[in-house]
Structure 1
Amino acid sequence: MIHGAVVMVWLVLCAVQDVRQRLLANRLTLGAALLALIYALWTGSTWLGAPAGQGFLAFLLALLLTLPGYALGRLGAGDVKLLAALALASDAEYLLWSFVGATVANGLWILSAPKLIPLMSHGLKKGMGYLVAEPSKKLPFAPFLLVGFAAAWFWIH
């Protein structure tokens, strides 16, 4: 139970950073992936208690789910690393349900908040010595993954 709460806190940090800065720091994504990998190799299980092999399978699945979106410009590199880190910390079941939940949450957001999307679609770019708004082509992924993981954790746990 405590391990799931730690994953939730990590996803909250990622979501806040993704909304505010439109990027995910490597120390949050790669750092978590490295810790999850070390934990799996050391203990033989993932952070959420699945056998380490399940975490490694989930990692491959995360890459299959996210690399096409990255290649099409729908996901950023940070999003790929975020889902890969979540995979190493959990298993394929958590990963898939989290991804499905994120997709549903994203769809509901797009359908229910059309007036808020223009407000959410601005990033910051340095220009002429100051920061100026620049429209982003995609919504931040981490908040939706947080919702998806929370639903999966509630349902599976």
Structure 2
Amino acid sequence: MIYGAVVLVWLGVCAVQDVRQRLLANRLTLGAALLALIHLLWTGHTWLGATAGEGMWAFFLALLLTLPGYALGRLGAGDVKLLSALALASNADYLLGAFIGAAVVNLLWLLVMPKLWPPMSQGLKNALGHLAPGPSKKLPFAPFLLVGFALAWFWIG
């Protein structure tokens, strides 16, 4: 239970950084992946209690889900590393739950937000253009992944 809370806090920090800076620092993504991998190899299970085999399957599934999006320019490298780290810390159920939950929440955001609060929608588009020079103007993925993981953790756990 405590590791689930740690994952939730870590995803929260990643979400804040993704919104503010439009990137995910390697020390957050690769650092968490390294800690999760060391834990996996040392104890034989992931932070959320899955076997090593389940954790490695989730890792390869994360790559399978994210690398095409990265190749098409829909996901950034930080998103790929974030989902890979989440996979090493959890299992395929949590990973798929978080990924599907993130996609649903993202879609709801894009469909509902402009209707509920048009100034917020336009303000978000303008803010994304002014947050930092150069980074993507797409919506940050980490906040949606945070919500998706929280829903999966509540549903599965």
Q: TM-score, normalised by structure 2?
A: 0.91
Q: Which runs of 5+ in 2 are unaligned?
A: none
Deviation per residue, 1:25-69 (Å, 9 max, x gap): 000000000000000000000000000110100000000000010
Higher helix content, 1 or 2 = 2
Cα distance in structure 1, aligned partners of 2:39 and 2:132: 36
2:128 is matched with which residue: 121, 137, 156? 121
Aligned residues: 149
Higher strand content, 1 or 2 = 1
C-alpha RMSD of the superposition: 1.3
1:27-38 maps to which residues of 2 (within 5 A)?
Answer: 27-38=27-38
Match of 1:111 in 2: 111
Cα distance in structure 2, aligned partners of 1:136 and 1:119: 13
Letter in 2 for 1:76: G
Once the 2 structures are TM-superposed, how far is the Cα of residue 120 of structure 1 from its aligned partner? Answer: 4.8
Match of 1:128 in 2: none
Identity %: 74
**TM-aligned CA distance change 1:113 to 1:58, over 3 Å:** same
1:13-52 maps to which residues of 2 (within 5 A)?
Answer: 13-52=13-52
Cα distance in structure 1, aligned partners of 2:46 and 2:136: 35
Q: Is the Cα contact below 8 Å between 1:39 and 1:47 reproduced in 2?
A: yes
**TM-aligned CA distance change 1:97 to 1:120, over 3 Å:** farther
Match of 2:82 in 1: 82
Q: TM-score, normalised by structure 1?
A: 0.91
Q: Which runs of 5+ in 1 are unaligned?
A: 126-133
